[in-house]
Every structure is written in C-alpha cells, then in structure tokens.
C-alpha cells in the first residue's frame, strides 16, 4: 500500500473542507500544498516562484474568509496555482497552460473562486473596490480582499484605486504581498505582536476614543495630536504612513510565512467593520524550494524541470529568438550611437533589455510596472535629442495608449517602440496575445509600423528605427524562435513604406505582413502544384503601406489575399481602404477578388502555437483553402483544410 505524501491535502476538495481543520494542522497542509505546487509545475512549466511565496497566505485567506461568498481578487493572477489546488481544481492542476487545460492566471469562467480575471498587474484594488461598493449598494455583508503582489504595487493604477477607496471609506481589505523586500525588511515576533495589537478591536476602539477626545481640543493642538499619533504608530509598526494618508488603516509588516502571525491578523481585519485596511505581508518569492530560492529570478517563469535538481528542460533552439535578435542588434546600434537609450516596464529579461543593461547600465531604464510613464518618459527623452527605444509587450503597450497618442504621436516625437509578443503567444493565452497593436497604431496619423518576416528583417528594422527621426516608429515581432535565416553583420536602413516581392506568379497574389510569410510561401508552393501560379510579397510596413505594390498586385492577379497575425482593423483594413480609394474594387475588372486573413473575432484560449494558428485559420493549409474558395473551388478548399 502506497502512503500518500499529501494526506491532509487529499482531504481538501474545496475551502469548506479546509475550514474543518484545526489551526494546528495548517502548517502541515501548507507544506503539502507547496510540495504539490512544485510537482505540478515541474510537469507543466509556468510561473512558480510567486506561487510558492503565497502558499501560507493562500491557506490563511481561505481558512479565515468564507470564500467564494467572500471575494479574493489576486493580483497578479500567476500567484494563484496554490489557490487553484485548494478550490476544486487539483485534479486538473497538471493541465496548467496546456491545450484545453487550466489557465495560468485567474479566470472567471474557470471557477467561482476566481472573482476577477488577472493576467496583467495592478488591477486588484480597483476591481475589489468596485465589488465592495456593489456590495454596499446591494446591502450585502460579505468581505472583499485584494491581494496585490509581485511588484504590482508599483503601478500608478494601484494608487489611484487606493486614493478613491480612502475617499469612499468602503470596507475593503488589501493584502500587500511584499515579496522582494522593496518596502520593508524581514519581520519578527515583535512586529507580529504589534500587528495583532493594532489590528485588534481593543486598540482600534482606544484609538477612536482618543481621536474623539482630541477633536475637542483647539485646532492647532488637535492637529499636533493627530500627527503625533500617526507618527508613533508608524514608528512602532515599521511603516505605513503613505497608506494612512491615502485613507487606509495600515497593519504590518508581518511574516507572510508564519501562520501563527497571519491567522490572528486576518481574523482581526475580517472583523473590522468600517473603512479600508491594508495588511502588509512580507514573503519570499520561491519560498521552500531550494533551487528557486537560489535563483536570481526565484524561478519566476520556468519550463518543465526535475524536482530534485531544479534543472529545467530547455529544448535546443533551432534558431535564435526574435527577442534575443532585437536585444543584440540594439546593443550593436548603441555602440555606434550614444544617443540610443532603452526603456522597459519591469520586463528587462522578457524584452531582452537585460543584455543592453549589462553593456550600457547608464542608458537602460526599467521604470517598473508603469507603461504610461514609460511612454511619456520616452517622449521627454526624444524632445531632448535622444533616441529612446521603448520595449514593451504588445498587450502591455495597451496600458500606455493615451500617452502614445497624446504625448508622442500628436507631437511627432521620434520614439521607437519595440513591440514584443506580437500575435499569438501560446501558453500565456488571450491576456498576453498581441492581437490589437496593428489596429490601435495604424489609425494614428504619422505612425510608422513595421513587422519583420524573419529575424534578419528584424535586424534591418532596428537599424531603420535608429535612423528614423521624423516621428514615432514601431516594429512588432512575435514570441519564440526565428526561422533560421543567416543574420546580417549590420542592419540596412529600409525605405519607409516599401515592400518586396518574394516569389513571382500571375493568377493569385498573397501579401503578407510579418511572420506569416513562411506559411504564405509554403501555401504558394502547394498552389503551384495545383497549377495556380502564385505571387508572394512581404509588405514589411503596415503603415505607410506600399501603395504601388498593393495596386500592382491587384491589377495583375485574379485574387489578392492579405494575411496578418492581428485583429480586424489592422493591415487588411489599411489595404482595403487604399484599394477602395483607387477604385480597384469597383468591379470594372470583373474577376478581381480581394480577401483579408486576420485573427478571428474572439479570444483564443492557450495552446501550442501551431495549434492556435491552425484554429485561427492562419496556417499554410488555411491560406490554400482561402485561395481555392476565392477561385470558386469550395470542395477543394474544404479538402485543403483537412489534408
């Protein structure tokens, strides 16, 4: 008979089962939960360090609060693997980030315990405040807890929400998960004792009584007493004055791995029946797993790995990643041009700018999770003659869109936007899929947008961006490996708005933007085998689009198809507008047909990239089918899709 390594966890199907345990059993449960989290992520890969840091906090929250009636909003959602295990999803935890499996983030459609979906950061306090106000308007009595951590507190949106929460004085609990000791040092028994004291009803009652008495003093004495009380409480508890000024009752800091500290404090703040409260919890990212604790990034994101050694299963790359090509090319350009500076928002490794920082530490700026600031900061640098490269994920740039329009585009400032994770992103799913950047950039007057078809083209586009000083310019590139082409020693400066023809044909033309070019070429070969002569062209630019090339393709072919890994309103829409303006769609030529292949009008769930592209209808088979359908061969189109 095999003895289970997780006997207590085996008894937990939902938090209701957890709340049947005695407090003294929770330490063992937390240890088993940590072991299960490590084992699961070793199979699936994903975000590990942040989840390990909140194991005890997760247990304590579900033990003290009546979830799902009480709402827990996690920020960022990648902290929630332990939460998923405790909330009825343990039997599926080894499907994390796999096709048709669990999301790597919180997802409302997945569980009633996921009160709010969160793939991006710094949203929890705003969402939690909305839930708290809705509860108050409805006459409810449940609790709302926002857990904000893994640097999410660095974004301005969190402070906007706290300012509003303090003004509304709604009953809201914010747990600040301080997992990098950026705010407070490690805490001990005295700090925990004081936290229990100031969070308890007796202290709060005494404090309120003192306040009422002080109000009867002359104004100047009252103000001095108020400030002295705030200072003394801040002094003995180790911080919190800023949060108090925003209207929160501050408790902490406390040890987030000590259940004897967590449980009484959370119980006290649960029973506090007025106003917002912030509990400052200090945790260690990667806690309890040696390889994670020893790693510089605390195993923030990992591939599959060996639990005993921590060695990750990193498949041998066939080609360098687009991210690394961008980073190395930018370093090379910066060696020749001392006006080049780099900016990112808490993603130096993700965008490759950690390499730039090693070479030019004084010219690299990580502004933390503050994309709005990043964009306007870049605008200020551009005003003074520098060449800022603002490197952000496509979906993160969305957070700085007003600044992009108002502070950069309207002023025609030459900010260079390096847009990583453009298109589908596999396991990270819809929250990180760069589907909209072409559409939201192409509508801006004067914006230049490029998309490389391979890694060599990316080198040219970095060089082109460096040389371009007339206004804002962006180049978007996907996650993952390139196609394996030889890289040039130095990038060429491309002619703005000029595409290129890759393959000449006569009947069908495929105009591709970005890395769909490889599949377009494959499709053209198959079509040629069917006797359909096919031209393939690489647009290079979504804006300004090569009008001469587009109109020539329309004039000389029966069918013209554009293809992009982006949403409606992007490259295909730009092409349609030009064709319409020049009368190419007026019917005079009779047989000419135009089709645009884009991402479907829905959010695609996470899966392997090739599976997602097939589901999106953007792979080689789908291109062949689209051509055959346009030529009237619907049976052939159907067969092409299942070939």
- Please give the annotated binding residues for Mg(2+), written as ranges: 150, 179
Question: What are the tens digits of pLDDT across the range 3-17?
Answer: 889 999 999 999 999
Q: Residue 622: in which H helix or E strand, if any? A: helix 620-630
**CB contact at 8 A, 579 and 594:** yes
> How many alpha carbons lie under 13 Å from residue 472 in its C-beta half-sphere?
29
Q: Is CATH 3.40.50.920 what the domain over 500-642 is classified as, yes or no?
A: yes
Q: Which residues pair with 192 in a beta bridge?
A: none
H and E: helices and strands count for the chain: 26, 19
Residues 6+ apart with CB under 8 A from 508: 527, 532, 533, 534, 535, 557, 558, 559, 560, 561, 627, 630, 631
Question: What are the tens digits of pLDDT across the range 88-118?
Answer: 999 999 999 999 999 989 999 999 999 999 8
**CB contact at 8 A, 464 and 414:** no
**CB contact at 8 A, 281 and 252:** yes
Give the residue with greater pLDDT, 437 vs 590: 437
- Residues 491, 495, 497, 501, CA torsion sign: negative
Domain 322-476: CATH superfamily, name plus number: Thiamin diphosphate (ThDP)-binding fold, Pyr/PP domains (3.40.50.970)
Confidence of residue 225 (pLDDT cuts 50, 70, 90): very low
Domain 9-299: CATH superfamily, name plus number: Thiamin diphosphate (ThDP)-binding fold, Pyr/PP domains (3.40.50.970)
Q: Which residues pair with 118 in a beta bridge?
A: 106
- Please give the annotated binding residues, written as ranges: 78, 119-121, 150, 179, 289, 371
CA distance 166 to 155: 18
For residue 236, CA distances in Å to 257, 422, 621 come to 21, 49, 67
Among 238-242, 443-447, 605-609, which is the least confidently predicted range? 238-242
Percentage above 70 pLDDT, the chain: 90
- Please give the annotated binding residues for thiamine diphosphate, written as ranges: 78, 119-121, 179, 289, 371
Which sequence positions are flagged as catalytic? 285, 371, 399
CA distance 186 to 257: 11
What does the domain layout of the chain look like in residue ranges?
9-299, 322-476, 500-642
Question: What are the tens digits of pLDDT across the range 429-485?
Answer: 899 999 999 999 999 999 999 999 999 999 999 999 999 999 999 999 999 999 999
């Amino acid at each position: 008979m095999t003895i289970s390594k997780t006997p207590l966890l085996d008894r937990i199907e939902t938090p209701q089962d957890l709340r049947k345990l005695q407090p003294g059993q929770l330490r063992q449960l937390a240890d088993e939960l940590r072991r299960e989290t490590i084992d699961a992520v070793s199979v699936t890969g994903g975000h590990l360090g942040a989840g390990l840091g909140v194991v005890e906090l997760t247990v304590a929250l579900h033990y003290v609060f009546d979830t799902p009636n009480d709402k827990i909003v996690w920020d960022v959602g990648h902290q929630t693997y332990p939460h998923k295990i405790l909330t009825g999803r343990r039997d599926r935890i080894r499907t994390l980030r796999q096709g048709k499996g669990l999301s790597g983030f919180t997802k409302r459609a997945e569980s009633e315990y996921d009160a709010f979906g969160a793939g991006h950061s710094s949203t929890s306090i705003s969402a939690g405040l909305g839930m708290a106000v809705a509860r108050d308007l409805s006459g409810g009595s449940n609790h709302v807890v926002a857990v904000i951590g893994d640097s999410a507190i660095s974004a301005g949106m969190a402070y906007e929400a706290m300012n509003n929460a303090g003004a509304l004085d709604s009953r809201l609990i914010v747990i600040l998960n301080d997992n990098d000791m950026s705010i407070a040092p490690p805490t001990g028994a005295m700090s925990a004792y004081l936290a229990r004291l100031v969070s308890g009803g007796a202290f709060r009652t005494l404090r309120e009584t003192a306040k009422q008495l002080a109000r009867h003093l002359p104004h100047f004495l009252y103000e001095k007493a108020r400030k002295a009380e705030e200072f003394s409480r801040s002094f003995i508890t180790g911080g919190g004055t800023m949060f108090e000024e925003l209207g929160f009752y501050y408790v902490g800091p406390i040890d987030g791995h000590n259940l004897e500290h967590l449980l009484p404090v959370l119980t006290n703040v649960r029973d506090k029946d007025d106003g917002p409260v912030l509990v400052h919890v200090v945790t260690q990212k990667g806690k309890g797993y040696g390889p994670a604790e020893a790693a510089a990034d605390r195993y923030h994101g990992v591939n599959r790995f060996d639990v005993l050694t921590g060695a990750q299963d990193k498949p041998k790359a066939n080609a360098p990643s687009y991210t690394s090509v961008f980073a190395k090319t930018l370093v090379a350009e910066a060696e020749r041009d001392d006006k080049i500076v780099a900016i990112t928002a808490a993603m130096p490794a993700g965008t490759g700018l950690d390499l730039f920082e090693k070479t030019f530490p004084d010219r690299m700026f990580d502004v933390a999770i503050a994309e709005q600031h990043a964009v306007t900061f870049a605008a200020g640098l551009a005003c003074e003659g520098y060449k800022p490269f603002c490197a952000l994920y496509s979906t993160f740039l969305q957070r700085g869109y007003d600044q992009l329009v108002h502070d950069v585009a309207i002023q025609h400032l030459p900010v260079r936007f390096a847009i990583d994770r453009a298109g589908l992103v596999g396991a990270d799913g819809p929250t990180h899929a760069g589907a909209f950047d072409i559409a939201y950039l192409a509508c801006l007057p004067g914006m230049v947008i490029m998309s490389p078809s391979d890694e060599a083209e990316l080198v040219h586009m970095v060089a082109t961006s460096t040389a371009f000083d007339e206004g804002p310019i962006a180049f978007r590139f996907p996650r993952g490996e390139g196609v394996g082409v030889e890289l040039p020693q130095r990038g060429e400066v491309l002619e703005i708005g000029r595409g290129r023809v890759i393959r000449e044909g006569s009947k069908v033309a495929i105009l591709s933007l970005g890395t769909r070019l490889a599949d377009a070429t494959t499709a053209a070969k198959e079509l040629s085998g069917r006797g359909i002569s096919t031209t393939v062209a690489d647009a290079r630019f979504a804006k300004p689009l090569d009008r001469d090339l587009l109109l020539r393709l329309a004039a000389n072919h029966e069918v013209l198809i554009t293809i992009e890994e982006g949403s409606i309103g992007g490259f295909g829409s730009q092409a349609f507008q030009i064709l319409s303006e020049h009368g190419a769609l007026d019917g005079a030529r009779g047989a000419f047909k135009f089709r645009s292949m884009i991402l479907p009008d829905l959010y695609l769930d996470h899966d392997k990239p090739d599976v997602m592209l097939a589901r999106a209808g953007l792979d080689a088979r789908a291109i062949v089918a689209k051509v055959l359908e346009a030529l009237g061969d619907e049976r052939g189109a159907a067969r092409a899709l299942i070939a």
